[in-house]
Amino acid sequence: WCVVDRGGVDSLKREFRFADFASALAFTNRVGALAEEAGHHPALLTEWGRVTVAWWTHAIGGLHRNDFVMAARTDRAYETISEDDGPDS
Amino acid sequence: WCVVDRGGVDSLKREFRFADFASALAFTNRVGALAEEAGHHPALLTEWGRVTVAWWTHAIGGLHRNDFVMAARTDRAYETISEDDGPDS
């Protein structure tokens, strides 16, 4: 994860690699489900073989503890997918 | 749709608005299904209440007729969702 400026607001950003578009989109949905559970929503850029996730807290215009929690959950979701489907990256 | 430079490559880009994160993610999945059908894949940025779609042709490093076809299909998918769910934008 890198701390990246999104229009004057710090965010946590990481790129995840996949074998194809469908696997990338499946991960987007998995992270989307985590977001809905938590009531905290990231930016998810889905491309062929790649999803770039950014977490930040709109209300404070930057990073909150919760963003780090969500980043860790995102990593765990990725590890689980990798275990299910074999290593992708 | 605007023609936008993505790292030296022209792409067609448009932002679509939604009522919440779940509706935005549903649209991402709908456009993802169109992409898989066509074997032609966009960049899909999913955020709370918003999906930004970009189409371009990797093989020629720019825009091909197919990108305009996919842009039109994306619009049609959005119109269909709007009809199903009521006007969002």
Residues A12 and A63: beta-carbon distance below 8 Å:
yes
Short-list B69, B65, B39, B41, CA closest to B53: B41
Contact residues on chain B for A45, CB-CB shorter than 8 A: 43-46
Neighbours of B5 (CB within 10 A): 9
* DSSP summary character for residue B11: E
| B32 interfacial to chain A (CB closer than 8 Å) | yes
Question: Does the predicted TM-score (pTM) go above 0.80?
Answer: yes
- Summarised one tens digit per residue, pLDDT across range A11-24 is 999 999 999 999 99
| A6 interfacial to chain B (CB closer than 8 Å) | no
Give the minimum alpha-carbon distance from A33 to chain B in angstroms, rounded to a whole number: 9
The pLDDT-based confidence of A89 (bands split at 50, 70, 90) is very low
The pLDDT-based confidence of B45 (bands split at 50, 70, 90) is very high
pLDDT the model gives residue A6 = 85
**CA gap A36, A28 in Å, rounded:** 12
Mean pLDDT value of segment B65-86: 88
| A82 interfacial to chain B (CB closer than 8 Å) | no
pLDDT the model gives residue B81 = 82
**CA gap A58, B15 in Å, rounded:** 20
- Summarised one tens digit per residue, pLDDT across range A56-70 is 998 888 899 999 999
- Summarised one tens digit per residue, pLDDT across range B16-36 is 999 999 999 999 999 999 999
Complex confidence, ipTM:
0.90
